[in-house]
Amino acid sequence: MRIGLGCELTYELPKDTPMIVLLNVHYSRVGYLERPDRLVTDPPVPIESYRDLFGNWCCRLVGPRGRFVLRTDGVILDDGETDPVDLTAIQHPVEDLPAATLGYLLASRYCETDLLSGEAWRLFEHGPSGWGRVQAICDFVHDHVRFGYEHSRPTRTAAETYAEGRGVCRDFTHLAVAFCRCMNIPARYCTGYISDIGLPPPYEPMDFAAWMEVYLGGRWWAFDPRNNAPRRGRVLIARGRDAADVPLTHTFGPNTLSGFRVWIDELAA
């Protein structure tokens, strides 16, 4: 399957403004790019690229005063399969977990495991373990939180999402990540593209999406508490402890986002 994907973000900047941008497909999928999704800007500016602490590909630049556009547009090859599932995947005892996963058991900026631990154990201690426990967490979050862009708030934490029962995909993900960590399951936050390929219309306007990966049965698996179903055409951009680690754009100064488009569509073979 060939998938076209990309984005266009338009800013109004009152002065020259440094930015860090995470908009390119994750390095784990770069080998599948038929046409690289290179970052281009209008007007053109120098771009310095580097990898952050989590291995994500970041672009560093200074946006000039006035109208400034960031754009990517690529084509990626995909097997067309839905997210993999293994109902037998086990939860590892903490003492058996690889050292690289342990940081994803800890509290982070938006995932307050200390505040949610008691509720997590009350809700999920007596249910299934392993894959079944993570699915139970996703089912609960999917049913408990009401989705709506009008509910978006960039400072909302997992504990606040639990209390308020509303949010957008990042809030669903933060709450599910926090619950998994409370139950001693490593969980990390992911951002990227989720397509509507294979789904019946009508289709909502496309946006970037958030989901999580959890460590079960010796590997990481994607779970999506917002949609709560395996999807085709899921393309990772970045992963970290929570959204604070992987903002799509980090702008060091005042700005206005005046235009925003995201696309991911199946193309002809």
Residue 85 resides in a domain: no
How does strand 166-167 pair with strand 146-147? parallel
186/212 same-domain check: yes
In angstroms, the CA 42 to CA 71 distance is 8
Query: Backbone phi, then psi, for 210, in 5-degree steps?
Result: -125, 145
Q: What is the pLDDT of residue 117?
A: 98
Q: Which domain holds residue 17?
A: 2-80+248-267
39/75 same-domain check: yes
Query: Taking Cα atoms as reference points, which of 35, 29, 54, 11 lies closest to residue 192?
Result: 29
The enclosing domain of 189 has a CATH number of 3.10.620.30
Q: What is the pLDDT of residue 154?
A: 92
Q: What is the pLDDT of residue 159?
A: 98
In angstroms, the CA 2 to CA 232 distance is 12
List C-alpha distances in Å: 91 to 97, 120, 240. Answer: 9, 16, 21
8/117 same-domain check: no
Give the largest Cα separation in the chain, rounded.
Answer: 57
From the first residue on, what is the mean pLDDT of each consecutive set of 10 residues in the chain (269 residues)? 97 98 96 97 98 96 98 97 97 98 98 98 96 98 96 95 97 98 98 93 89 98 96 96 97 97 94
CB 32 within 8 A of CB 216: no
Residue 86 resides in a domain: no
In angstroms, the CA 179 to CA 113 distance is 7
State how many domains the chain has: 2
125/75 same-domain check: no
In angstroms, the CA 244 to CA 110 distance is 8
The enclosing domain of 63 has a CATH number of 2.60.40.2250
104/219 same-domain check: yes
Strands (E) across 22-63 are located at: 33-35, 40-42, 48-51, 57-63
Q: What is the pLDDT of residue 209?
A: 97
57/167 same-domain check: no
DSSP string across 207-259: --EEEEEEEETTEEEEE-TTT-S--S-EEEEEEESSTTT--SEEESS--EEEE
